Structure 1
Amino acid sequence: MNIEIDKKEILRYLGGTDKNNDQITDQLIDESIEEVRKISVPKFQYRIFEIKKNQKSIQILNSILVLTGKDIIKHLIHSKKVAIMAVTLGIQVDRKIKYYSNIDLTKAVIFDACATTYIEAISDNLESEIKEIANQSNCNLTYRFSPGYGDFSLKVQDNILKVLNSSRTMGLTVSNEHILVPSKSVTAIIGFEDKNIKKPTGKVQKRADNEKCKTCLRYKNCIYLQEGTFCEFRKKNL
């Protein structure tokens, strides 16, 4: 799979920049990028569903899936259907992170950041494919919204994987705590919004980011920063 692993994104996860990057770190990043590519077995899938909304939940039609939580309901307020997606790098990446954690913590952290950047890049690429389908229906896409974000419960992971049949097709499962296994995996909901919908035109003053936000996996697609506020975690850790 010919998808770029962006060094600047890796450094963002590591809390640095290319300006203060030393030669040893740079070499470790290059080595880790090559190794992540070599051992990863990327798999991804998505399905598109019509939805039915009420004030307390969103039903994914022709499935067992029901979305609850004020944040996901607000996120999909203008959507008429959704894409449900899943991406994984495979179990070998998890094993390698565990291996480096036992022998070289610095390498483990850098390798983890490279893997995270890679799976986000694959997710971006998959989203671009979904966007082409949305354009054919005269729709715009919302940002990706994953379980565990805001008050969108991780428990929904179980049914997302059932709906996508991800255990059989991707080897993707969940733990008793509803955490994805392998850990370098992502599930997300993307809304399809009619391009003709008129949204409120008032501009919201975006609050300044800080370094804690910039290291978050959801920084690029954060709906809270788009609205000029922070998620509950950041509010408690300002």
Structure 2
Amino acid sequence: MAKGDQIYVMRDLAGVPGLYQHHGIDCGDGTVIHYSKARDIAEIARTSYDAFSWNNPVYTVRKSLIYDPDVVVERAISRLGERQYDLLLNNCEHFANWCTTGRSESRQLANFGLRTDQLNLPELRRLAEGDRYTTTPAEACANFQKALGDIATAYNTTLADQQTAYKAADEWHHVAEKALAIGREDLARAALHRRVAANKRIETLTTQLSELVELELNLRHNRAFAERRLALE
């Protein structure tokens, strides 16, 4: 890892370890610029490497850079103090990608189907961010319920895919063991290659599940608020 690298660490969510990627920009001096949630309001801040990693392994995002390292860091510095975190449009990955490529995008969202060009963004963003006053309490509750239903469907589908991938990884592991037992190293290598592919699939699906969980938590929080408003009417 070096100055200007886009880096990420797997973070815990809702007590489940390693569920989602938290992205930042390596400044090359032991500090990282990222969307920090150390305070009540998420803010782009320059923190120590340890504060970013939480003592977890840190990985580099492998891709072709449009900007050189100095420019990447300058772009990150230009947004220090920003408090405009948005899960759908301006999360930590959006920020880091903007610094390195100029494109504000989040592959984690796109990977499980939350493509911003296919969503009713004003509606879903309002629900997720907590702008709960633009509709009546009854309408808000109905909107939250529908959104949660959509998320539940996506979560169950993704979870089933993840479980299938786990099963495949385990099966290929046993195939490799049996192949080695009969002296077929060629078959063992092929089986292990399939196992690696299954493990990569597991990692991708786990990231997708984490994003769904975060979005669901935000929506449930705001639905509870709307229900309290409805009870007061």
- Which protein is bigger by CA-based radius of gyration? 2
For normalisation by structure 1, the TM-score amounts to 0.26
Q: Which has the higher contact order (CA 8 A, sep 6+)?
A: 1
